[in-house]
Structure 1
């Protein structure tokens, strides 16, 4: 039965899947307006998973510090919106541009310093980078230090705020997906996979691996910065350790979602983010007081039983059916 469903699903053209998902996404906040905020955070999760998979899945570089670009985006936009003196929507637009640009430039700087390191050393270095960023923000009075920063109030009518930020986050997730889809179909995507398969051979073939790795991290950071800017506005308050540079939540979740859906695939992070976010919201709704325990057990289940992810499991079933 499952094999038949898989076969039918594979016969659907990818453009039809994307168009269908787009129709559902545009309609969702009007069909269930009370869930607009939760759905907006779903698209945030999709961005987190997709951007981590650029390095962790496509390139084989496990990073535990990608949350630093999310945090930089949060604070960059918040400072612009606070200090620019522009009307709300103008300040938000400028904040988004600055958040994306600063995150991208930060990735270029950090990439030049760290992406010469390989394996576990790179993962540990990025973990330390994320922790250090949180401590720096918590001690910097210009961005509120440990007290955090409050975001400007949305000027629209009651109920419009949730819809506005839903579509803004959906637009970022869609732009991220389509950009990565286009990049993975080019020589750049092949270069990322070559680094994952054997970096030494890739270098021997003439690939400038450090430049390619840095560029990939910068693309990932750009969308993370945009997502951080919007997330900060949705939450209304930025805490340095619990929101902006929260390695224990956003930093871990982006890894788990990509693993759950299937690392190194286009649709895997999207599927993993949707399942993880839905499960997490159910835990918070029906297991109040035990939600963190349940989420911890979910993490163990993902690592133990889905090491190849859902897409890997489907590929294995398909290969078994053909054998």
Structure 2
């Protein structure tokens, strides 16, 4: 217990000190937290419930646009603002900026939860690869819809006001917004997975038909799980909108090929179906991506493909799953008995 307390205390200290100890990497550290958030939320349905979605990027992109629209609409006409590219033409006071940011984050989360329920009613009738393909289709359709919607800027995207203070202070703010969201999400899931709700979604993953026979209203649990995941992804998208300042629908918001796939890889790499797996996977994947994108330019996608293949073939349970087998005491798990001697393995 003491060791665990020291471990968590060290993590808290590092989280609070990181942007000041590594000031050059504030944006990269914020991105790590973004990856942790999207990986944890993907694992809610993919790892804990057994529904592998390729469309969670829908909520990220929608969160970006909802936050932008809310911020602009508090002060200006959205159509006029986007028609003139907004930034530099329209002024925002500090109060308007921060009011729009925090209200936009809340509305983005709630709106994404709502559309998750609507989309879920349509797609949760599908299972296996059909569900994955169906959700991917929704994400692609959402991106195309927004890119052709002139009211929100169309294919040119939308511009938000620049952080009103020192830009370095802005980077610190965005880091802590992502970190705070990630910590709240982690603690929420740590509690949720120990409740009856967590047991129910695990039962759906293990055998949905048996879960229904046991009296579990599977559709309700599936919709609730996806709505909760969408809430946090929507908030992450809202924060990203203010961090990026200007974003486009296909390249930034609904980037199905990049972030939409990266969140899945993070969960698989770390170990889906575990609490710490997506966290570990997100950190390892981001480091891997930065190294390959900087030093293997032109071959980065080949390296990424090799990583995915190696993970699936040699680390089926991910890094955390591999550690749980070899170091079960780290996770308060009973040691497995040796098949030859019947004795507990060290």
Q: Aligned-pair distance for 1:69?
A: 0.5
TM-score (normalised: structure 1): 0.93
The aligned residue for residue 112 of structure 1 is 121
Kindly indicate whether residue 174 of structure 2 is the aligned counterpart of residue 165 of structure 1.
Answer: yes
Please tell me whether the aligned partners of residues 81 and 152 of structure 1 are also in contact (alpha carbons under 8 angstroms): no
Q: Aligned-pair distance for 1:285?
A: 2.4
The aligned residue for residue 296 of structure 1 is 305
Aligned residues: 313
Match runs of 1:31-42 below 5 Å: 31-42=21-32
The aligned residue for residue 17 of structure 2 is 27
Segments of structure 2 that go 5 or more residues without pairing to the other structure are 76-94, 328-335, 339-343
- My pick for the range that moved more, 299-308 or 155-164, is 299-308
Among 3, 9, 12, which residue is 1:12 paired with?
Answer: 3
The aligned residue for residue 56 of structure 1 is 46
Whole-Å Cα distance in 2 between the matches of residues 240 and 158 of structure 1? Answer: 25
Whole-Å Cα distance in 2 between the matches of residues 193 and 292 of structure 1? Answer: 33
The aligned residue for residue 84 of structure 2 is none
The aligned residue for residue 311 of structure 1 is 320
The aligned residue for residue 155 of structure 1 is 164
The aligned residue for residue 36 of structure 2 is 46
Q: Aligned-pair distance for 1:122?
A: 1.2
Which 4+ residue blocks in structure 1 deviate beyond 6 angstroms? none
Q: Aligned-pair distance for 1:150?
A: 1.5
Q: 1:118 to 1:11 in 2, by over 3 A?
A: farther
Segments of structure 1 that go 5 or more residues without pairing to the other structure are 1-9
The aligned residue for residue 3 of structure 1 is none
Whole-Å Cα distance in 1 between the matches of residues 6 and 54 of structure 2? Answer: 34
State the Cα deviation string for residues 36-72 of structure 1 (Å, max 9, x = none): 0000000000001000000000001111111101111
Q: Aligned-pair distance for 1:115?
A: 1.5
Q: Aligned-pair distance for 1:317?
A: 2.3
Q: Aligned-pair distance for 1:287?
A: 2.4
Q: Aligned-pair distance for 1:112?
A: 1.9
Task: Please say which structure displays the higher CA radius of gyration.
Answer: 2
Among 137, 152, 164, which residue is 2:146 paired with?
Answer: 137
Match runs of 1:194-233 below 5 Å: 194-233=203-242
Kindly indicate whether residue 155 of structure 2 is the aligned counterpart of residue 146 of structure 1.
Answer: yes
State the Cα deviation string for residues 221-253 of structure 1 (Å, max 9, x = none): 000000001112212222111211111011101
Please tell me whether the aligned partners of residues 169 and 230 of structure 1 are also in contact (alpha carbons under 8 angstroms): yes
Among 174, 183, 188, which residue is 1:179 paired with?
Answer: 188
Q: 1:16 to 1:182 in 2, by over 3 A?
A: farther
Q: Aligned-pair distance for 1:308?
A: 1.3
Among 56, 68, 85, which residue is 1:66 paired with?
Answer: 56
The aligned residue for residue 69 of structure 2 is 79
Kindly indicate whether residue 272 of structure 2 is the aligned counterpart of residue 263 of structure 1.
Answer: yes
More helix by share: 1
Q: CA-atom RMSD, angstroms?
A: 1.6
Whole-Å Cα distance in 1 between the matches of residues 250 and 287 of structure 2? Answer: 24
Match runs of 1:237-256 below 5 Å: 237-256=246-265
